[in-house]
Every structure is written in C-alpha cells, then in structure tokens.
Amino acid sequence: MRNRSGPPVSGDDFAFRERELRFAEQALLDGNSILLFGLRRIGKTSLLQELKRRLEADGRAWCCLVDVQDKESASEFFLELLDALPATAGQALGKWIGKARTLPNSLWSTLQKRVRKGSFGGAGIELDKDILDYWKPLADAVEKTVPGLDRPVVLLIDELPFFIENLHARGEDTALVKQVLATLRSWRHAGVPMALAGSISIDQLLEDLGVSNLVLNDVSRLELHPLPREEAREMLRRLATAKDLAGWDDTTIDAVLDRLDDWFPFFLQCAFHHLQHEEPGDGFRLEEIFARHIEPDLQRSFFAQFDDRLTRRFPEKERKAAEQVLNLMARGEPPSLAIGQIKKIASPHVVDLTGLVRRLEVQQFIRPVAGKPGHYEFPFRLVRRWRQARGGA
C-alpha cells in the first residue's frame, strides 16, 4: 500500500471502505442510485474510482466517471456525460439519430445543422457545443437506448453541487438547474443508475435556490465517516510495512492515532508522510512534527473549507448566530450544547431556530448527540479545533 496523500487512489492503494463499497456496488447493480457526500479530501473521488474499477473488472457494468466541478454551462455538462458513454452506447445513439427523420421536420432540420461527423462516445458522431436547443430528443434517446444494452451503464458524477453552484454564479435561471436535475432523474427512472458525489450539501443548495429536492428523493444517502480505530491502526501498519519500517510497532502507531484529531485516510496519510523518516523510540519527535508540519498541513486543507462554508452557506444574521453557537460549543467540556442554549444564543439574530440548526447540521458543523435528544456536538474533532482557532478558544 503506497502512501498517496494527494491524488485519489484505487486498487491496492485503496482500503478500509468495504462497507461503503459493498453498499454502493449492490445499490447500483440493483438499478438504484446513491448520493455520496462528505468534506473535501476525505475519499469520495477515490471511492468512485474504486467503484468503477471493481464494477468493470469482471464486466458487470460500464462505468462513466466524470468530474463536473469546473463545468460552467449545461451544454458542457451534458456533453461531458454523453462523451463518457461507452462506444456501444454511442453507436446505439448514433443509429437513433440516423433514424431521426421520423421526428417533426423542424426538429430534424435542427439536428441536421447541429450534429457533425467526429467522435461521440467512440461512435463517430460529434455534437455542437450548444446542445440545449435539441436536448430533449437526445435525452429521450438515452432513455430508449442505454438501458437496453447488454450490461448496465452506471454514471458516476463527481462534484455535482459545485456544477449547480457554477450555473447559479453565472446568473442562469433556476429553470436550467431544474432541467439538469430532472434529466438525471428521468434517466435514473428509465434504468440508468448513478452515484452523485458532492463536498457541499446539495439539499441545502437546492433549498437556497428555491428548487424542490423532490428531484433527489429517489437516491440513497451515503456519508463517509472517519475510520474506526482498528482500521486506522491497520492502515498505518500497511503503510509502514510497504516502507519496511520495522520500528513502527503498535505503541508508535497508537501514539500517532492519539495525536490526530480524526482518522480519515487523508489525515493518516498526511501524518505518515511527515513521520516516516523519523526513528520511533525515545527520540521520536512526534509533538514537534505535529506542531510544525502535520497540523498546519491539515489546517490549510480544511480550515479554509470550513470558513468558506460558514461565509457562503449562511445568510449574514444566521452566520453571526452560527459563529456564536460554534464558539460556545468549542469552549465546552464536553463540547456540546442543548437546544435551549442554542436558542438563547441565536434568538437575538434569527427567528427560525429550526432552520439554523438544520443548516448547521447539513453543513457538517454539528450533529445530534447519540442517546441525548435535544443536544448537539461537533461531528469531527477538527471542526472544534477550527472554531478554537477562530475565536472559540
């Protein structure tokens, strides 16, 4: 197992997400769809890549993995999806387009002007950059051809919420967002399963845009959590074994785990990256390296992400209330608050207490305390450390 703390991984470098993988594999092969969510850099893209590798390895499915976070128009988005289809699907669509004379003359004329020879899904067809004028018949063609292939075609769409946000930032009407999501929903219902991944809450985003989340009520949610301690311990063992570091015994590994805030794979990889050249034992400079290198690296990767969520996902009055709630929670021992305390803090700023608590939850700043109704805590220890660094010390 190689230590790759930057790019997504798959194959032998991917491990310890078996439960999530089995859930996703079975759901997609059964024709169902999932929404994969969690913070940035905690393994969503790696899970999608490994899912693609496994489903294609034994010919159970064709998987089309696309990253759409940089797409800025619906045409770019749809072209990316269509171009990712396997050649067999492209050929089927090509035949359908060739038979399009059965369509009304005006639509056939449009297709003749817009469709050129080239490459599309490996099938010798290229579509014009602006395909929205004739998108409906093409979307219908996908529904009629792709589900009938000799194996399932699975769409794996990474960072869908970022793409939706890009549309909004460009001033596109919410009707276009609805069109994109309605098309995906229609494909799912026709038999094209998909995994949709996102680092920001798509439910909250759609609510803020005034788009009903009914367009996503047919997908199952799958959140990536930190690894259990034993899996985190085994991951460090494998990394040390791959580097032939015999001195990395259980005592050393436990010392590293105790010093980390959370046990996401990226956190473990980051710590190992900085510690692998040190000699465990009495001279192990654990505290120094954490303070000088590991914690600053993790904070650069995640604190800006938390700042961005707080700034962009909360209206101004709610943001002030949220900051005060999180700061007080960060000072507590244990770091938790009852709903009455939250109400007392928030009441000068917001009227809708339920909406504030829900927004804090979907942005992964708080979560209900298990077994204590009406109490909330931080979902990750790193969130508390962020608030301590931002005024909640």
Sign of CA dihedral 210, 214, 216, 217: positive
Task: Say whether both 349 and 367 belong to one domain.
Answer: yes
Residue 109 predicted with pLDDT over 60 = no
Residue 264, token pair as written in the block: 């996401």
- Binned at pLDDT 50, 70 and 90, residue 145 comes out as confident
Assess if residue 118 is contained within a domain.
Answer: no
pLDDT in tens, 253-269: 999 999 999 999 999 99
Sign of CA dihedral 33, 163, 72, 207: positive
Question: 219: how many CB neighbours lie within 10 A of its CB?
Answer: 21
Reduce the DSSP state of residue 17 to 3 states and report it.
Answer: coil
- Binned at pLDDT 50, 70 and 90, residue 142 comes out as confident
Edge-to-edge order in the sheet of strand 367-368:
336-338, 375-377, 367-368
User: What integer best gives the mean pLDDT of the chain?
Assistant: 86
Whole-number Å distance between alpha carbons of 368 and 124: 54
Task: Say whether both 356 and 213 belong to one domain.
Answer: no
Task: Say whether both 299 and 351 belong to one domain.
Answer: no
CATH of the domain at 362: 1.10.10.10
**Percent of the chain's residues with pLDDT above 70:** 85
Owner of token pair 């063992």? 237
CATH of the domain at 167: 3.40.50.300
Report the number of secondary-structure helices (H) and strands (E) in the chain: 18, 10
Domain count for the chain, please give it: 3
Task: Say whether both 185 and 207 belong to one domain.
Answer: yes
Task: Say whether both 291 and 360 belong to one domain.
Answer: no
Q: Which long-range contacts (CB under 8 A, 24 or more apart) does 228-235 make?
A: 228/263, 229/257, 229/263, 231/16, 231/263, 232/16, 232/257, 232/263, 232/268, 233/257, 234/16, 235/1, 235/15, 235/16, 235/265, 235/268
- Binned at pLDDT 50, 70 and 90, residue 204 comes out as confident
Whole-number Å distance between alpha carbons of 363 and 196: 17
Task: Tell me how many degrees the CA angle 169-172-174 measures, rounded to the nearest 5.
Answer: 105
- Binned at pLDDT 50, 70 and 90, residue 285 comes out as confident
- The answer to whether the CB of 13 falls within 8 A of the CB of 1 is yes
Give me the pLDDT at residue 91, please.
75
The gap from C-alpha 48 to its chain's centroid, in whole angstroms, comes to: 9
Give me the pLDDT at residue 299, please.
92
Residue 88 predicted with pLDDT over 90 = no
Task: Say whether both 291 and 182 belong to one domain.
Answer: no
Task: Tell me how many degrees the CA angle 300-305-307 measures, rounded to the nearest 5.
Answer: 100
Residues sharing a CB contact under 8 Å with residue 240, sequence separation 6 or more, in sequence order? 248, 253, 272, 276
> What values do phi and psi take at 114, rounded to 5?
-90, -30
Task: Say whether both 160 and 240 belong to one domain.
Answer: no
Whole-number Å distance between alpha carbons of 88 and 85: 8
Which of residues 167, 195, 223 is at a domain's end?
223
Task: Say whether both 37 and 155 belong to one domain.
Answer: yes
Task: Say whether both 33 and 141 belong to one domain.
Answer: yes
Residue 193 predicted with pLDDT over 60 = yes
Mean pLDDT of 78-104: 73
What does each C-alpha distance from 262 to 252, 253, 258, 271, 378 come to in angstroms?
17, 14, 9, 11, 12
Task: Say whether both 368 and 296 belong to one domain.
Answer: no
Assess if residue 114 is contained within a domain.
Answer: no
Give me the pLDDT at residue 199, please.
84
For residue 164, what are the domain limits? 17-86+134-223
Assess if residue 61 is contained within a domain.
Answer: yes
pTM: 0.85
pLDDT in tens, 28-70: 999 999 999 988 888 899 999 999 999 999 899 999 999 999 9
Closest by CA to 254, choosing from 271, 270, 274, is 271
Question: 352: how many CB neighbours lie within 10 A of its CB?
Answer: 11
Whole-number Å distance between alpha carbons of 262 and 240: 19
